Amino acid sequence: MTTELRRLRNYIDGEFREAADGRTTEVVNPATGEEYAVAALSGPADVDAAMAAAQAAFPAWRDLVPAERQKVLLKIADAFEARAEELIAAESENTGKPLALTRSEEIPPMVDQIRFFAGAARMLEGRSAGEYMEGMTSIIRREPIGVCAQVAPWNYPMMMATWKFAPALAAGNTVVLKPSDTTPASTLLMAEIIGGVLEELGHPKGVFNVLCGDRETGRLMVEHSVPAMASITGSVRAGIQVAASASKDVKRVHLELGGKAPVVVFEDADIAKAVEDISVAGFFNAGQDCTAATRVLVHESIHDEFVTALAKAAADTKTGQPDDEDVLYGPLNNANQLQQVSGFIERLPSHAKVEAGGHRVGEKGYFFAPTVVSGLQQDDEIIQHEVFGPVITVQSFSDEEQAVGYANGVEYALASSVWTKDHARAMRMSKRLDFGCVWINTHIPLVAEMPHGGFKQSGYGKDLSAYGFEDYTRIKHVMTSLG
C-alpha cells in the first residue's frame, strides 16, 4: 500500500494550478531523506501565465496611493503572525530546521521586515522641486519598476522570499517569485496567505504569483519579455547566469550571491566571548548562510588557545531532528549539498588538521557534524571557496596588515567581523575591509533598517533598509515650463 504524496502547485492569478504540461519534481525532507511531496515543474506556458497575471495586475497596484499598499502589507504581517505555526511546520519540513529556532529566529524578523517596508512605502524621497533653468521647474518622480521576476534560495526559503516580495510590493511592483526546487512548500503557504489578504481587500489577484520549478524555470522567468527587473539570492554561478540572461533585453538586475566572511580576532579580544559567538554564527542553520562566520583569522599569539576553545565549542554543539529543542541546527538541505561539504573535507591538503567533526552524522537525513579545521593556507580551496556547511576554518596572522590581506584575499565581499578592544583598530579595519557589512565584536545580527548586500562576486544591490526599497523603484525627471 502506497501513500499518495502531497501535491504542491503553482500559485498564479489567485489560484493554485498544476504545471501546464503536468510535469513534477520530487520534494524531499532533508531531516529524513524521504520524499514527502511532488511540486509542479513549470515550463514556458506556466511562466507566460504568471507573467501575464502580474502584468495585468500592475497598473491598478501601481496607481494605489502608498497608504493603501501599506494597509495590505500590514495585514500580511498580521496574517503571518496568526498562522505562524503553519509556516514554521512547512519551513521545517522544507529544510529540516529546528522548530524552536524557526519560531524564535525567523518569524519575528520576517514580520518586522514586512512592517518596515509597509512604512517605507510612505517615505519615498527625492530632491526638492526647483528652478534649475530660467523659466523651468523640475521635479523628481520615484516610480515602481513594473513586474519583478524573483528567485529565492533554499537556505532561508521564507525569509528570503520576504526580503524580495515586501520591498517590491511596497514600491508598487507586482511579483512572480520562484522558490528553490527543493523548498517550495513554505513559499506556497505564504502565497495562500498573501492571496487571501489581496482578495479580502479587493486588490488584483495577480499582484503576487509563485512558480515552482528548477533552474530552467528561473531562466525562462529572467529571459521573459514582461519583467522589468530580475532579482536572485543564490550562488555566484546562478548570479552570473541571471545577469547574462537579463542582459539580452537590458533588464535591471539585483544580485545577492555567495560569501566567505572573514572573522578577524586580534590578541586583545575576549576569547571566551568570541568563541561563543563565532561558533553560533558559524554553525547556525548548518552554516548555510552567506554571512556565516566560517573563515576565522586569529592573531598568532592566541591561535592555539583559540583553536582549542573553538574545537570544544564545536564538540558541544548539537545537530539533530527538528523537534529536538537542544539542537542548534538541522541537516544540510539536500544530498548534493551533503556531497559538496563532504568533498571539501575529503580534499583537504596534508597541512590541514581537522580539530573537530569532519564527518556525516547518522545514516538518515543529511546531517553533518560541527567541524573546525586549522593549519590552512590562504590559497587552499576551502579558504577560497564557499563551503556552505557547518565548517569553520582557522588561519593565523602576524599583524594587522597581514590580517587585512588575508581577509580581502577572496572573490567574495558580503560580510565580515572584527574582534578587538582597541577602538581605533576597529575603525581602521572597518574602513579597510572590502565587505558590504563589518560587524565589531559581534557577527550576524541584521535589522530591517540597515542594508544587506556585498561587493565583488557577492553581487550588487541591497536587501532590507531604505536602500533596498529604492532598488525596486525608478527615477523620472519631469520639467515644466513656467511660461
| Residues labelled catalytic | 256, 290
Q: Which three three-digit cell numbers place residue 200?
A: 479580502
Residue closest to 234 by CA, chosen among 150, 109, 292: 150
CA distance 348 to 355: 13
| Measured distance CA(349)–CA(381) in Å, rounded | 9
The backbone torsions φ and ψ at residue 88, rounded to the nearest 5 degrees and listed phi first, read -60, -45
460 to 141, 175, 262, 439: CA distances (angstroms): 24, 20, 19, 19
Upper half-sphere CA count for residue 392 (Cβ side, 13 Å): 35
Round to whole Å and give the CA distance between 47 and 227: 11
d(CA 370, CA 411): 25
458, burial (CB in 10 Å: exposed 0-12, middle 13-18, buried 19+)? buried
- Fill in the DSSP letter of residue 33: T
Which one-letter amino acid corresponds to residue 164? Answer: K
Greatest CA span in the chain, whole angstroms?
83
The SS3 of residue 350 is coil
* CB atoms inside a 10 Å sphere around CB 215: 15
CA atoms within a 13 Å half-sphere pointing along the CA-CB vector of 378:
12
End-to-end CA separation in angstroms for the chain: 83
